[in-house]
Structure 1
Amino acid sequence: MSATVIRDVRIFDGEGIVPRGSVLVRDGLIACVGQVDVPGDAQVIEGEGRTLLPGLIDAHTHAFPGKLEQAVRFGVTTELDMFSVPSILRQVRAEAAKPYAADLRTSGTGATAPGGHPSQFMAEVFGAFPMLSSAEDSVPFVRDRVAEGADYLKILIEDGSAMGMPLPCLDAATVQALVEAAHAQGLLAVAHATTQAGAELAVAAGIDGLTHVFLADSEVDRLAARLAEARVFVTATLALFESLDDQAGTSLAADERIGARLSPELRAAVGHTPPGFSSVPGLAVHTAETTAALHRAGVVMLAGTDANDGPHGAFPVVHGASLHRELECLTMAGLTPVQALAAATSVPAKCYGLDDRGRIAPGLRADLLLVEGDPTQDITATRSIAGVWRQGRSVPYATAWGLT
Structure 2
Amino acid sequence: MNKEELVNRLNASARRQKADIVIKNGKIMDVYNQGWIYEDIAITDGVIVGLGEYEGENIIDAEGQMIVPGFIDGHVHIESSMVTPIEFAKAVLPHGVTTVVTDPHEIANVSGEKGIAFMIEQARQTPLNIHFMLPSSVPAASFERSGAVLKAADLKPFYEEEEVLGLAEVMDYVSVQQAEEDMVQKLLDARVAGKRIDGHLAGLSTDLINIYRTALVLNDHEVTTKEEALDRIRRGMYVMMREGSVAKNTLNVLPAVNEKNARRFFFCTDDKHVDDLLSEGSVNHQVKMAIQAGLNPFLAYQLGSLNAAECYGLDTKGAIAPGFDADLLFVSDLENVTVTMTMVKGQTVAEGSKAIYQDCASTAAPEPALLDSVKLAAPLNKQNFYMPIDSQQQINVIQIIPNQLETRLIHVEAPNARDFESDIELDLLKIAVVERHNGLKEIGLGVVKGFGFKSGAIATTISHDSHNMIAVGTNDADITAAVNKLQEIGGGLTVIKNGEELHSVPLPIAGLLSDQSAEQVNQSLLTLHDKLSLIGFTGGFNPFLTLSFLALPVIPDIKMTTTGLFDVKSFQHIALQ
Do they fold alike, i.e. is TM over 0.5?
yes
- Code of the residue aligned with 2:45 in structure 1: it is D
Change in Cα spacing, 1:46 to 1:184, as seen in structure 2 (3 Å) is closer
Aligned pairs (5 A) from 1:306-385: 306-309=270-273, 314=274, 316=276, 321-331=281-291, 335-373=295-333, 375=334, 378=335, 380=336, 382=337, 384-385=338-339
- Please state if 1:214 is matched with 2:210: no
Greater helix content: 1
Identity of aligned residues (%): 19
Q: Which protein, 1 or 2, shows the higher relative CO under an 8 Å CA cutoff with sep ≥ 6? A: 1
Deviation at 1:319, TM superposition (A): 10
* Change beyond 3 A, Cα 1:106–1:359: same
* CA-CA distance at 1:116 after TM superposition: 3.0
**Residue 90, structure 1, aligned to residue 99, structure 2:** no
| Alpha carbons 2:139, 2:149 under 8 Å: kept | no
Q: Residue 83 of structure 1: CA displacement? A: 3.0
Report SS of the residue matched to 2:49: strand
Aligned partner of 1:298 in structure 2 is 261
Distance 1:295 1:304 in 2: 19
Partner residue of 1:58? 73
Q: Distance in 1 between matches of 2:275 and 2:148?
A: 23
Q: Determine if contact 1:357/1:367 at 8 Å carries over to the other structure.
A: yes
| Ranges in structure 2 where 5+ consecutive residues have no aligned partner | 1-17, 79-83, 356-517, 521-577
Other-structure match for 1:205: 215
- Aligned counterpart for 1:45 among listed residues 49, 61, 64: 61
Give secondary structure in 1 for the equivalent of 2:200: strand
Shift of 1:352: 0.6
Q: Check whether the contact 1:196–1:216 (CA below 8 A) recurs between aligned residues.
A: no
Residues 70 and 320 in structure 1, CA contact (< 8 A), matched pair in contact too: no
Rounded to whole Å, the distance in 2 between the matches of 1:36 and 1:342 is: 25
Distance in 2 (CA, whole Å) between partners of 1:193 and 1:318 is 30
Aligned to 2:96: 75
In structure 1, the residue matched to 2:43 is: 25
Q: Relative to 1, partners in 2 of residues 1:400 and 1:186: Cα closer, same or farther, differing over 3 Å?
A: closer
Give the Cα separation in 2 of the matches to 1:193 and 1:366: 35
Matches within 5 A, 1:129-278: 129-130=149-150, 140=153, 143-146=156-159, 150-157=164-171, 170-172=175-177, 173-174=179-180, 178-197=186-205, 199=209, 201-210=211-220, 212-216=221-225, 220=227, 224-225=230-231, 227-237=232-242, 239-240=243-244, 243-244=245-246
Q: TM-score, normalised by structure 2?
A: 0.49
Residue 73 of structure 2 contacts residue 283 of structure 2 at CA under 8 Å; is this kept in 1? yes
Provide closer, same or farther for how the CA distance between residues 319 and 105 of structure 1 changes in structure 2, counting only shifts above 3 A: farther
Q: Which amino acid aligns with 1:112?
A: S
Q: 1:47 to 1:93 in 2, by over 3 A?
A: farther
Paired residues in the alignment total 321
Flag the 1:233–1:295 CA change in 2: closer, same or farther, 3 A: farther
SS at match of 2:351: coil
Instruction: Give me the whole-angstrom Cα distance separating, in 2, the residues matched to 1:8 and 1:206.
Output: 45
Task: Output the amino acid matched with 1:397.
Answer: E
Residue 289 of structure 1 corresponds to: 252
Equivalent residue, structure 2, for 1:278: none
Which structure's residues are more often strand, by fraction?
Answer: 2
- Hey, what's the Cα distance between the residues in 1 that align with 2:63 and 2:122? 31
Change over 3 Å in CA distance of 1:215–1:204 after alignment to 2: farther
* Structure 1 residue runs without a partner (length 5+): 132-137, 160-168, 246-282
Cα 1:244–1:335 shift into 2, 3 Å: same
